[in-house]
Structure 1
Amino acid sequence: MQVRLSGGVRAARREGGVDLARGLAVFGMFAAHVVVTSPRFEPTDVSTWSAVVNGNSSILFATLAGVSLGLLTGGSAPHTAGLLAVDRRRTAMRAALIYAIGFALWLMPAPVYVILPAYGILFVLALPLLSWRPAPLFAFAGAVAVAAPFVVAAIDASPFWFTLPGAVVSGLVGWHYPFAAWIAFIAAGMGLARIGFERALTVLAIGLIAAGAAVIGFAVVGSSAAQAASAEPHSTGIGEMIGAGGLAIAVICACVLLCRTPFRVIAWPVRAVGSMPLTAYTGQLIAWSVWIWTQDAPVDPIGGFLAVHPFWPMSIATLVFCCAWALFVGRGPLEWGVGAIAKAVAPARLNG
């Protein structure tokens, strides 16, 4: 029997390295949620290396969202005029749909800071950036990375966040991933997509520069005692903004280069997961919520779930599902749904 390989991972327009990086980000976020990791990363102590997923996975996820946005809107040849108008309408609809999915997940009992509401807001904030070229995108990202930590710190200082309404607003806007700062990662990812991945030497050069920025952010800026310079996970300090942002771009570039080799075939299962990150992320939180719903009260939603060591079962189940879906169907179910609705709302052919 001959099996027809559907779209998804095998689609000609897909960049395999970007899918690989997305897959790594998905599993990194799984680990950050359900694995007891070391509280602090020390390069010389292997026992602490599990800490690398904390904060960095979600920032890689956000940077890749920017890459996806850039690729969807023309890649290295950004759309203009009528196509740009279509892109903006579709992106706005994607933002609304992603926010709606995030809101639904936020209502579920899984004790996780859901990132999707922040994504919805970030996509709206990115609308004016869709026509920008790489240089202004990276300049904007750098300026935000340096300035936004002070803005976020001032907002965080408000006693409002320690009230019940404050907690609700925080969840509704995904403030654990503050959009005022995280727009830098979206812009950086868009800048990377605008440069393009066609030339291996260019990708290598960008990756090396980004790796250097990561070292500066974590080891130099982050070593300062000033809170605004912190490189700690989810601190939104300048050290984290530069360090984790640089690391994210370096990882993406490394994945792109790896997928120019036979490793592309070996990495296919992870690439399959990366081709449907919204589905994989949502599935993880639904699985956790279902586990909570099926337990006898009282239940510890964090300690109880971690006690069953869910990382490998969830990861294997995600791999199997995503591989089968990519092989026999194509695009992930949520990715297909969001894309189809966005295209229906903003068809490519404009009247007038």
Structure 2
Amino acid sequence: MTSRNAARLARTTGSQPGAGRLHGVDAARGLALLGMMATHLLPTFQSNADLTPTWIGLTFSGRAAALFAVLAGVGLALSTGKQKPLAGPELSAARRGVALRALVIAAVGLTLGGVEVNLAIILVHYGVLFLCVLPFLGMGLKRLLAWAGGWILGSPVLAYLLRPWLLAAEPPLQLGHNPSWEDLATPSRLLADLFFTGYYPVFQWLSYLLVGLVVGRLMLGKAMLPAFLLVAGSVAAVLSKALGVAAMEDWGGRAALEKVLNSPGYPLHSVLQVNLTGIPQEGSWWWLASAAPHSGTTLDLVHTSAVAVAVIGACLLLGRLAEWVDLDLLLPLRGPGAMTLSLYTVHVWVVSGFYLKPLPAGWTEDGMYFAQAATAIVVGMVFVLLKWRGPLEWLGHAANQAGRGQVRNLR
């Protein structure tokens, strides 16, 4: 038996941690992690007065986090029956497992929320998204497509209508910081922030998990599907972004929004290219015509979802190429992609150590990023080669198995 066939047999029979995982999916997850780290550590705007976007902001802002969320949906689909969703007692057990895993993720996020750091930590929102997607885990492809399309179209409009009402409360139903354990004492404020008024609004972001479920329910092993995902995702991404830019620049959208903001000289053009977080999107329906990163509009959701689908398709194609040449080309990405929770947590903790402090002598922002990215890649590769789970991945897996009633299978 060749080494390639032996590896395939091991993945099929579940004789190693993470058995049955598509290497391309893990590689895409690793790419999402490195992209999020880039937006955390490298400037997304230049330091001049007009806030000119950097290539980091133009490339990764909004897209890396969305890829992370879409991949969550893909992973859930792969673990709940792939193209044939589970039903009956098996589905109930799977939902219990996902729910317990979600609580682990949220607990890690609430703990990180207590550290002082200038980052928007996604983990609590990520855990809540896992809970919100539970009713959809038993759906087939056609129903998921309908729900995903409807949610992408409808959720931004409902959020636009509800958000001003929530922010008009006294005090406003918005945290203004990362969720922490202390925020459990004010559940209405916490929930409003998580779902509507915070950095990663779960209400709209559920769209990403639904798109991921659609992708995961497809037969990813089919020869032409990765190419289809790459082409279709690229086309949808280009068209949605072009439509958003045309609405803002050619049809009068940006001019109308500048009047609403009533802030002469504010670089709205630059912000629309990189990150709309922090700007109150109210007072004009033109906000819903934007495709700006982190705007949560329909065009933003379509564009970032489509980019994620294209990246997944590209990584799956690279995985096929790696099998063909019998060389693990994806190892530098799939290594960190197999333990993103642990590496993301360590990344946040390390960044918090430099909060409001100068970088060590001789270090630059670029150097700090490449040091952390290289460490993540090396550690991830070592864990994959040794067939180990990351520590927090092991905890999440144990919670999942406990929920499914399979506590003996904790490797």
**TM-score normalised by L of structure 2:** 0.74
Higher Rg? 2
Residue-by-residue CA offset, 1:41-100 (whole Å, 9 max, x unaligned): xxxxx9736521000000000000110111111111211111101011011111111111
CA distance in structure 2 between the partners assigned to 1:203 and 1:240 by the alignment: 23
How does 1:67-106 map onto structure 2 within 5 Å?
A: 67-106=74-113
Q: Does 1:280 align with 2:339?
A: no
* Residue 167 (structure 1) aligns with: 175
Q: Does 1:179 align with 2:187?
A: no
**Match among 267, 283, 288 for residue 228 of structure 1:** 288
CA distance in structure 2 between the partners assigned to 1:108 and 1:11 by the alignment: 31
CA distance in structure 1 between the partners assigned to 2:43 and 2:235 by the alignment: 29
**Match among 29, 40, 43 for residue 22 of structure 1:** 29
* Residue 295 (structure 1) aligns with: none
Q: Does 1:136 align with 2:126?
A: no
User: Aligned pair in 2 of structure 1 residues 85, 306: CA closer, same or farther (>3 Å)?
Assistant: farther
How does 1:42-61 map onto structure 2 within 5 Å?
A: 48=55, 51-61=58-68
User: Aligned pair in 2 of structure 1 residues 179, 312: CA closer, same or farther (>3 Å)?
Assistant: same
CA distance in structure 2 between the partners assigned to 1:161 and 1:285 by the alignment: 32
CA distance in structure 2 between the partners assigned to 1:286 and 1:261 by the alignment: 36
The amino acid across from 1:215 in the alignment is: V
* Residue 42 (structure 1) aligns with: none
Partner SS, residue 167 of structure 1: coil
**Match among 385, 397, 400 for residue 339 of structure 1:** 397
CA distance in structure 1 between the partners assigned to 2:56 and 2:112 by the alignment: 30
More displaced 10-residue stretch of structure 1: 74-83 or 24-33: 74-83
Aligned-residue offset at 1:326: 2.0
CA distance in structure 1 between the partners assigned to 2:381 and 2:144 by the alignment: 34
How does 1:176-215 map onto structure 2 within 5 Å?
A: 176-215=199-238
CA distance in structure 1 between the partners assigned to 2:290 and 2:116 by the alignment: 31
Partner SS, residue 83 of structure 2: coil
CA distance in structure 2 between the partners assigned to 1:218 and 1:8 by the alignment: 44
CA contact (8 A) 2:77 2:213 kept: yes
Aligned-residue offset at 1:138: 2.1
Q: Does 1:299 align with 2:322?
A: no
User: Aligned pair in 2 of structure 1 residues 161, 337: CA closer, same or farther (>3 Å)?
Assistant: farther
CA distance in structure 1 between the partners assigned to 2:170 and 2:55 by the alignment: 32
The amino acid across from 1:182 in the alignment is: W
Residue-by-residue CA offset, 1:222-271 (whole Å, 9 max, x unaligned): 43122102111101122211111111111101111111003861221211
More displaced 10-residue stretch of structure 1: 216-225 or 233-242: 216-225
User: Aligned pair in 2 of structure 1 residues 346, 267: CA closer, same or farther (>3 Å)?
Assistant: closer
CA distance in structure 1 between the partners assigned to 2:290 and 2:141 by the alignment: 27
CA contact (8 A) 1:222 1:239 kept: no
The amino acid across from 1:81 in the alignment is: G
User: Aligned pair in 2 of structure 1 residues 28, 308: CA closer, same or farther (>3 Å)?
Assistant: closer
Structure 1: gaps (5+ residues): 40-45, 293-297
More displaced 10-residue stretch of structure 1: 24-33 or 136-145: 136-145
More displaced 10-residue stretch of structure 1: 234-243 or 154-163: 154-163
* Residue 159 (structure 2) aligns with: 152
CA contact (8 A) 2:23 2:319 kept: yes
**Match among 355, 360, 377 for residue 319 of structure 1:** 377
CA contact (8 A) 2:17 2:389 kept: no
The amino acid across from 2:159 in the alignment is: V
Residue-by-residue CA offset, 1:288-343 (whole Å, 9 max, x unaligned): 12344xxxxx6379xxx975741011111111211222222422221111111221
CA distance in structure 1 between the partners assigned to 2:215 and 2:30 by the alignment: 18
Partner SS, residue 174 of structure 2: helix
Residue-by-residue CA offset, 1:178-207 (whole Å, 9 max, x unaligned): 111111110110111111311021232233
User: Aligned pair in 2 of structure 1 residues 195, 168: CA closer, same or farther (>3 Å)?
Assistant: same
User: Aligned pair in 2 of structure 1 residues 93, 308: CA closer, same or farther (>3 Å)?
Assistant: same
- Number of residue pairs matched? 332
CA contact (8 A) 2:332 2:377 kept: yes
More displaced 10-residue stretch of structure 1: 227-236 or 20-29: 227-236
**Match among 327, 335, 353 for residue 290 of structure 1:** 353
Aligned-residue offset at 1:177: 1.1
